[in-house]
Amino acid sequence: DVKVTQSSRYLVKRTGEKVFLECVQDMDHENMFWYRQDPGLGLRLIYFSYDVKMKEKGDIPEGYSVSREKKERFSLILESASTNQTSMYLCASKLQGAGEVNEQFFGPGTRLTVL
Amino acid sequence: GQNIDQPTEMTATEGAIVQINCTYQTSGFNGLFWYQQHAGEAPTFLSYNVLDGLEEKGRFSSFLSRSKGYSYLLLKELQMKDSASYLCAALDSNYQLIWGAGTKLIIKP
């Protein structure tokens, strides 16, 4: 079974702090994603990565950055946390596939509260 | 713009059948996913449809009509453990997923 793990289930930070959210997958997937999930809204893509050291902006990249130094690890960084970044953050990974569509596998999520 | 619509909340009775609808408008279309998400947990994959028609997988079935931009998830013989949110997501021409806000399904005994 694919396993996607996230470093924390719950995190409380103060405005202006630098925040690191870590995600690790154990199935050698090429693609990794960071989403945020807020009530009444669909999952919104922050950043994704096709391969090591590759990153692409999603729909809402402002205020975030990412790092993918190793294939299994994808980190989300909030350079200076703000209260509007209080949210559930979900990491996902997916096999790239050749001419096929594959599902995304999600981590358990990190509920971040910024005070 | 790209958009996914699904009902916010539905209620059904244990043992019954429920149909959760999803309509989509995307730039191109490469298939539609359904995911289940229990409260406080990760979404888990249920189904993927790219061709018109019904695909059955145990108690769960998913239907797609590409011409109507419409899909539904059908859950039969409802169990209490089916209480969850059901997320619809369409794959656009760039193979990016466009997500709906999810339908919270409440099962009553």
Q: What is the CA radius of gyration of chain A?
A: 14
Give me the pLDDT at residue A90, please: 97
Q: CA-CA distance, A39 to A11, in Å (whole number)?
A: 18
| Cβ–Cβ contact A107 with B under 8 A | yes
Model confidence pLDDT, tens digit, residues B34-83? 999 999 899 999 999 999 999 999 999 999 999 999 999 999 999 999 99
| Cβ–Cβ contact A25 with B under 8 A | no
CB atoms within 10 A of CB A101: 13
Which amino acid would we find at residue B52?
Answer: D
Task: Indicate the residue of A41, A101, A108 with minimum beta-carbon distance to B101.
Answer: A41
CA distance B89 to chain A (A): 9
Are B45 and A41 inside 8 Å of each other by CB? no
Query: Among A65-69, A97-101, B47-51, which stretch is predicted with the lowest mean pLDDT?
Result: A97-101
Task: Indicate the residue of B42, B95, B100 with minimum beta-carbon distance to A106.
Answer: B42
- E-strand stretches of B1-109: 3-5, 9-13, 18-25, 32-37, 44-49, 53-57, 60-65, 70-75, 84-91, 97-99, 103-108
Residue in B closest to A111 by C-alpha: B40
Residue A98 has pLDDT above 70, yes or no: no
Give me the pLDDT at residue B2, please: 86
Residue B3 has pLDDT above 80, yes or no: yes
Give Cα separations from A35 to A38, B21, B58 (angstroms).
10, 24, 30
Task: Indicate the residue of B87, B96, B101 with minimum beta-carbon distance to A40.
Answer: B101
Q: CA-CA distance, A101 to B30, in Å (whole number)?
A: 8
Which amino acid would we find at residue A78?
Answer: L
